Chains A and B, each alone.
Chain A
């Protein structure tokens, strides 16, 4: 059974810092790894999707990496801004089923 863990559960940084969010999964037979952002009271917004044949994906200030052999993915956020404050969730996808971590709640202080 796939289990996904995100550490830390919460993170507070000053504006402008670079930061890394961690995601680990127990079953390396994932097909894709997807990172989401969730604002309070809102649904999930897809940030990056890494397919199993890829090692990383980039979108603007975001870079996500995937290491299936170690069961880890990281989301790197460069030059953080207060608007980045949200909960970030990762999900391992296999046979169409997504297994989510419980998220990291990020607060970026002005």
Chain B
């Protein structure tokens, strides 16, 4: 079974630039999550989708972050404009349904300089 796919693996951008990350969840998984993991900390939930609808985006900095899952399958997370403090690993996860086991991708490491 293929796992959660994320791209790119690494990205370096200058502050105030924009960047986009892509996630393809495990086939058939209805729930998709984006997490931000700052070095030395545990992941923090940014947004949760159930199919193509947003379940929770209370922790998403909506002035600069946006995410979509238009067809209920893959998803993109965008940052515009980026700040230095956005440097982190962005993890995508999926699960068959809410409260079932979540499976994580390898993450995208973003460095903002």
Q: A residues within 8 Å of B by Cβ? A: 4, 31-32, 34, 36, 41-46, 49, 89, 91, 93-103
Contacts and interface: CB of A to CB of B under 8 A. Distances in A.
A91 B109 CA distance: 21
Given A31-B99, A46-B102, 12 more contacts: A41-B109, A43-B6, A43-B91, A43-B105, A44-B43, A46-B104, A94-B99, A95-B99, A96-B56, A98-B45, A98-B102, A100-B42
Nearest to A101: B42
A93 B102 CA distance: 10
A96 B98 contact: yes
Interface of B: 4, 6, 31, 33, 40-45, 48, 50, 55-56, 91, 93, 95, 98-99, 101-107, 109
A93 B106 contact: no
Nearest to B109: A41
Contact of A96 (B42, B43, B55, B104): B55
Contact of B42 (A4, A43, A49): A4
Contacts of B107: 42-43
B60 to A, nearest CB: 13
Interface centre among A31, A98, A99, A102 (most CB of B within 10 A): A98
Contacts, number: 59
Interface of B is mostly: strand
B31 to A, nearest CB: 6
Nearest to B55: A96
A22 to B, nearest CB: 14
Contacts of B50: 96
Contacts of A4: 42
Given A4-B42, A97-B56, A102-B41, A44 B101 contact: no
